[in-house]
Amino acid sequence: MNPLIEFLIETKGIPETSIILLLMLPIVATIIAVWRQIIGLRTFGIYAPISIIFAFYQLGLEDSGMNLVRGLKYGLGLSLVVFFTASVAHEATRKIKLHYLPKMSIVLSSVALGVFGMLAIAAYLGNEGFVAVDTLPILLLITVSEQMISIYIKKGRKAAYILTLSTLFISVLSYLLITWNVIHQLILNYPYLALLGIILNLIIGKWTGFRLKEYFRFKSIMSQSESD
């Protein structure tokens, strides 16, 4: 373990999980940037996927350590409830003339009640693991629903659903990465690797070539041009 990290954990009592999450954030943010700028698939900005990723991480934490399956199960379950309830609430209020903030307040309130109902059902069925989950990741997932509804209003249902799936997909991939013990040990031994995120983003920010998605999209045109 890096001497500085060892000092912070063993001498000053800073939780190892907190250090890992802070040092992993630049890496996760870089993955999202690559997903958008190099691969060419969009997400709900950068805040929403990061919130989902770390919500999954918190949901997977147990006293004995990280439970990968638990984080995925509860994270995806809550995400589906949140996004489904937000969609229903938006559809229910779509034809009512309301200002944006009161409308979003209704949507978020509906989502909160939907999650509360899910917790009540879990408690009734005796699912103690789900009932005992931390409130913070639940609140993070609820606030992300605003991004989906904002896209829903501006670009329609199809665009909102596509972006939701894309955001969830990259969030799950990143979650699997940050829960990998090999990555944990690497970042604890070499914390300066987090600086690579800044360096890579300086390179990504200058990217002017085709995105991977565009290569597939215009493959037939490019092949025709080469043959001519």
Question: How far apart are the two ends of the chain, measured CA to CA in Å?
Answer: 58
What are the pLDDT digits (tens) for 51-94?
888 888 888 877 777 778 888 888 888 888 888 888 888 888 88
Beta strand pairing status for 65-66 and 61-62? antiparallel
Residue-wise pLDDT for 173-210, tens only, equals 888 888 888 888 888 888 888 888 788 888 878 776 66
Global pTM? Answer: 0.78
Average confidence (pLDDT) over 26-49: 81
pLDDT in tens, 83-96: 888 888 888 888 78
CB-based contacts of 58: which residues, under 8 Å, 6+ apart? 71, 134, 136, 137
CB 151 within 8 A of CB 44: yes
Instruction: Delimit the domains of the chain by residue range.
Output: 3-227
Give the total residue count for the chain: 228
What stretches of the chain show up as alpha helix (H) in DSSP? 3-6, 16-34, 47-60, 68-93, 100-124, 128-131, 135-155, 157-178, 181-189, 195-204, 212-217, 219-227
138-183: pLDDT as tens digits? 888 888 888 888 888 788 878 888 888 888 888 888 888 888 888 8
* Residue listed under structure tokens 């509906």: 110
User: For residues 2 and 128, what is the distance between their CA atoms, to the nearest angstrom?
Assistant: 38
| Structural contact between residues 117 and 130, judged by C-beta atoms closer than 8 angstroms | no
